[in-house]
Amino acid sequence: MPAGRGDAAPETGPHPVPGRDTRALAPAAQGGRTPRVRARLLPPRPRLPHALPRLLLPPRPQPGDCGVGHRLRGRRPAGDGRRRAGPLHVLGGWPVTGPTVLFAWRRTPPPLLIGGAEVSQQLLAEEFVRAGWRVVYLGSHEAPWNGSAQIGHLRAHLRAHGTVWEEASGEVRYQWNGVSCRAVPQDRVEATLKGLLAEARPELVVTSQERAADLAALARRSSRVAGWLHSVSANSMGVLHGRPHVALATSEFVAGRAQAHADTKAIVFYPPFAPAEGAEPLLPAGRGAAGRIPGGVLMVNPIPAKGAALLHQLIRRLPTLRFTLVEGWWDTAGEFTAYPNVHWVPRTYAMGPIYAANDLLLVPSQVEDAFPRVIVEAGLHGVPTIGSSRGGIPEAVRDGGIIVHLDDVDAWVQAIETAERAGLGAKALAGAAPLVRPCLPELAAAGLIPAAAAAC
């Protein structure tokens, strides 16, 4: 696995009136003309889906929690979908009146969701949009861990969803769910950030992950800065060296590991979550039999770091139970599909039906996961978790499941066989529900944004 991808176990203005056409101003073209791109509002579609770690999947929008949100999508032009223009402007002329928040990091901007960190940040960005903020999201179309090109994936996703983008001099710019996104080469992230800080004058800058300390140090000269600690890895904790004003620790476990400077305030900031998707309990097509599975056991991302070795033993020792395995960071289907009691599901955003089709989640991680999103997402569907005692897993499970030592195979077998699924599922739901909440008031309480600007 490339360095950097083991981290983070591993969201303008108010929405236009529904039904009305809007226009997005394109950047000034060569010769002084200002081309326009017509956009139209489409009916709401299902919420931003529950995330799988490290997936590169087509996005789905999320209606707002504060009223029904709508998605702006450009009409797809003829050809490849891009508009070639002259020098790119920052905000693209979108009519917004509120303050500005800038998300800046070296990973891809929405909608390319590689892991839990990406999903959490996109959800928060979209909450800012619903609160009337102007939201800019700066990222790179080159992977920060090995420099591999991701611009092809980005174009394909935008084209598939009818989204108009602008591309010039290696930069890609587009609107996604009200967020102004910019993707640049890695060697231009800092220079682009400087320009954004000068032109957009953001009230708040949110940064995290690879080499975020440099971005935080640059931004804190003119803006309030939040460094988001998505994990306890050196890659994630590195942002603290840039002395952000506030460190957002994704769990109590992460907060306990943070060694912040005296001028950085560390707070626990649990990830944003969307309400559970309404879905029938039917599994999507995959390898194995589909349908509702009484007593079904689910695991997401069955790779060695997440407990694949233990999973093999459990599958063999519990042959009468059906195990549903969902592909995560990479495809391990060849290791599991020979088992007759395994149903393999390729990478997917449609996790709602999968949660609904099972009544127990396994999280046997060997690594210190910070606060696995999958535990809360399953809990929102009334699915309890049996998890290892590593990292922030017990904090995420709480009363909604069972914690077992990683090396005690007999204890895992017994827990799966004897877990009182209905009762634990009710507790899992009760524990997960409060995490579906407005997050901006927490940022206001930490002094990052004005209280008056935190309301949806």
**124/200 same-domain check:** yes
**261/307 same-domain check:** no
Give the distance, in angstroms, between the CA of residue 409 and the centroid of all CA atoms in the same chain.
32
DSSP class of residue 29? P
CATH number at residue 209: 3.40.50
Residue 347 resides in a domain: yes
Residue 423 resides in a domain: yes
Q: What is the pLDDT of residue 9?
A: 39
Residue 390 resides in a domain: yes
**53/176 same-domain check:** yes
Is the Cα torsion angle 308, 309, 312, 314 positive or negative in sign? negative
Distances in Å between the Cα of 31 and the Cα atoms of 4, 36, 434 are: 43, 15, 54
Predicted confidence (pLDDT) per residue in 294-323, tens digit: 679 999 999 999 999 999 999 999 999 999
Q: What is the pLDDT of residue 81?
A: 53
d(CA 150, CA 35): 27
Q: Take residue 84 and report the two structure tokens written for it.
A: 């070639």
Kindly list the averaged pLDDT for each block of 10 residues, start to end, along the chain of length 456: 40 30 32 37 37 33 32 39 44 60 97 85 96 97 94 92 93 96 98 97 97 98 97 96 98 96 96 79 46 76 95 97 92 95 89 92 96 96 97 97 96 96 96 97 97 81
Q: What is the pLDDT of residue 80?
A: 53
**319/381 same-domain check:** yes
Residue 280 resides in a domain: no
**308/268 same-domain check:** no
**174/210 same-domain check:** yes
Residue 187 resides in a domain: yes
**260/308 same-domain check:** no
**257/142 same-domain check:** yes
Q: What is the pLDDT of residue 349?
A: 73
Which residues constitute the domain of residue 315?
297-434
Run of H or E residues at 224: strand 224-229
Q: Take residue 426 and report the two structure tokens written for it.
A: 């009710």
Number of Cβ atoms within 10 Å of the Cβ of 49: 23
For 211, phi and psi rounded to 5 degrees? 50, 40
Query: Are 379 and 429 spatial neighbours (Cβ–Cβ below 8 Å)?
Result: yes
Run of H or E residues at 300: strand 297-300
Query: What are the residues whose beta carbons fall under 8 Å from the beta carbon of 288, sequence distance 6 or more?
Result: 322, 337, 342, 343, 344
Q: What is the pLDDT of residue 347?
A: 85
d(CA 20, CA 416): 53
Residue 202 resides in a domain: yes
CATH number at residue 385: 3.40.50.2000
Cα-trace Rg, the chain: 22
Run of H or E residues at 172: strand 171-176
d(CA 269, CA 275): 18
**417/448 same-domain check:** no
pTM over 0.85: no
**98/175 same-domain check:** yes
Residue 290 resides in a domain: no
Predicted confidence (pLDDT) per residue in 39-90, tens digit: 333 333 334 333 333 333 333 333 333 322 333 333 334 445 555 443 443 4
**115/164 same-domain check:** yes
Strand order in the sheet with 100-104: 82-84, 165-168, 171-176, 179-184, 134-140, 100-104, 204-207, 224-229, 246-249, 265-268
Residue 5 resides in a domain: no
Q: How many domains does the chain have?
A: 2
**260/380 same-domain check:** no
Q: What is the pLDDT of residue 89?
A: 39
Tell me which residue of 291, 299, 376, 380 sits closest to 332, measured CA to CA: 299
Distances in Å between the Cα of 73 and the Cα atoms of 16, 172, 176, 234 are: 13, 16, 8, 38
